[in-house]
């Protein structure tokens, strides 16, 4: 056992030196856990920001003026008051995403209980902003009209009051979720790429044959690659969590970061073993890239990090329980978002360790057969 550890650590040191000398790969890995995390968290917003809105006010009543003034930042720009003939040219020129049309006698019809109709025209070219904005506008209008009616006719107050309680992300800030899940996703992708590329790089440079004439066993070579690449990913995960998420983006990490890192270390045995397995199948870096697209990207997308696992078909949900990435995403979200402890996430830890250990042994067997072809 002492010899195994000594040889593995020596070979791991060789892997670190090789990575430091590969400027492109080193820069890519650092970028993936720093600028990439920041750009993914801030580049795509799922909230409505600075929506361009115009209003056609044919009522000119206190209620209509109240509705116009209810649209303000940061969700909307200052509303622009238009005439009817200006609506179509303005939307065709993409100057306005939303146009609210308030009909004549709107206030009088509301107070008389005649149920008047408000029309909202939406430019759905920007589909996400249009969908979110439609719901936001409806909520604002319902709220303002309800307040006005209750003030003018108290006896018509609504019989039910709805109270919302938002947990775990009270600000509804998508940067918290997108940034954190980009770190989780990059752990899988970079672990697979690093370990797979390390094996292919040794084969292309001819250093794999040098290892075979040394007094080391295939298990020690593979363990060194798992240890070296896993340690690099784990260290950069710490940088991403504390430097980018908490330091730059201000994301409050609810749970224990050491517990999450411990789970990440367990998961990395699977992810790096998967990279080595793909490295034994691929004959070049382009082939590794193609296998990565076919296997790792779908695994990442279906693991629950992009969309809830419950939204997938039942058979696919069952199949994804065999992937450690699914359990990794589940306990990462539980720890970092909801502050879960080991008493809650240990079944996910156990599943990740068990499936990962089986795949590690399978990859080791494949790796031994791969090395036998060089003898």
- Judge whether residue 146 has pLDDT over 60: yes
> In the chain, what are the domains?
2-44+173-372 (no CATH), 53-156 (3.40.1710.10)
Extended strands (E) in the chain:
53-57, 80-81, 98-102, 119-122
What would the mean pLDDT of 83-101 be, rounded to a whole number? 88
Across 29-39, average pLDDT: 91
Mean pLDDT to the nearest integer, 128-151: 84
pLDDT for 353 beyond 90: yes
The DSSP annotation for 113-177 comes to T-----EEEE-TTSHHHHHHHHHHHHHHHHHHHHHHHHHH-GGG--S--------S-TT--HHHH
CB atoms under 10 Å from CB of 53, counted, come to 21
- Provide mean pLDDT across the span 171-183: 84
**pTM assigned to the model:** 0.79
CB neighbours of residue 324 within 10 Å:
27
- The pLDDT of residue 133 is 85
Question: What is the predicted pLDDT for the residue at 242?
Answer: 94
pLDDT given at position 125: 81
| pLDDT, position 153 | 60
Three-class SS state of 57: strand
What's the pLDDT at 156?
A: 52
Cβ atoms 350, 260 nearer than 8 A: no
What is the SS3 assignment for 72?
Answer: coil
**Percent over 90 (pLDDT), the chain:** 33
Q: Report whether pLDDT(118) > 80.
A: yes
User: Locate tokens 């040794």: which residue?
Assistant: 202
| Percentage of the chain exceeding pLDDT 70 | 95
In angstroms, the CA 59 to CA 196 distance is 68
- Give the whole-angstrom CA distance, residue 375 versus residue 370: 10
Over range 258-272, report the average pLDDT.
Answer: 94
Mean pLDDT of the chain: 86
Alpha carbon distance 26, 194 (integer Å): 10
């Amino acid at each position: 056992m002492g010899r195994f550890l000594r040889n593995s650590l020596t070979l791991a040191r060789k892997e670190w030196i090789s990575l430091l000398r590969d400027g492109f790969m080193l820069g890519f890995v650092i970028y993936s856990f720093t600028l990439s995390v920041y750009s993914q968290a801030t580049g795509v917003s799922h909230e409505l920001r600075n929506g361009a809105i115009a209003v056609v006010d044919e009522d000119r009543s206190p209620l209509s003026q109240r509705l116009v003034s209810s649209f303000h930042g940061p969700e909307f720009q200052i509303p622009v008051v238009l005439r009817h003939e200006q609506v179509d040219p303005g939307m065709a020129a993409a100057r306005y995403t939303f146009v609210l049309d308030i009909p004549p006698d709107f206030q009088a019809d509301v107070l008389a209980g005649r149920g008047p109709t408000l029309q909202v025209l939406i430019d759905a070219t920007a589909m996400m902003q249009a969908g979110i904005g439609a719901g936001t506008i409806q909520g604002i209008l319902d709220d303002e009209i309800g307040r006005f009616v209750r003030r003018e006719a108290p006896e018509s107050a609504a019989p039910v009051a709805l109270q919302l309680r938002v947990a775990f992300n009270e600000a509804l800030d998508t940067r918290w979720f997108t940034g954190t899940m980009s770190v989780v996703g990059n752990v899988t992708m970079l672990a697979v790429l690093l370990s797979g590329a390390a094996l292919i790089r040794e084969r292309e440079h001819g250093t794999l044959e040098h290892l075979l004439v040394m007094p080391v066993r295939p298990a020690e070579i593979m363990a060194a690659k798992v240890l070296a690449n896993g340690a690099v990913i784990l260290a950069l995960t710490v940088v991403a969590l504390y430097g980018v998420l908490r330091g730059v983006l201000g994301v409050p990490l609810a749970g224990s970061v050491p517990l999450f890192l411990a789970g990440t270390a367990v998961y990395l045995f699977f992810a790096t073993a998967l990279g080595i397995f793909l490295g034994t199948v691929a004959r070049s870096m382009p082939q590794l890239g193609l296998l990565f697209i076919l296997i790792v990207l779908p695994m990442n997308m279906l693991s629950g990090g992009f969309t809830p696992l419950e939204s997938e078909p039942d058979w696919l949900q069952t199949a994804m329980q065999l992937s450690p990435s699914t359990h990794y995403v589940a306990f990462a979200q539980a720890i970092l978002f909801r502050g879960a402890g080991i008493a809650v996430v240990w079944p996910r830890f156990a599943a990740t360790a068990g499936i990962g250990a089986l795949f590690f042994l399978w990859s080791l067997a494949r790796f031994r057969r791969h090395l036998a072809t060089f003898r």
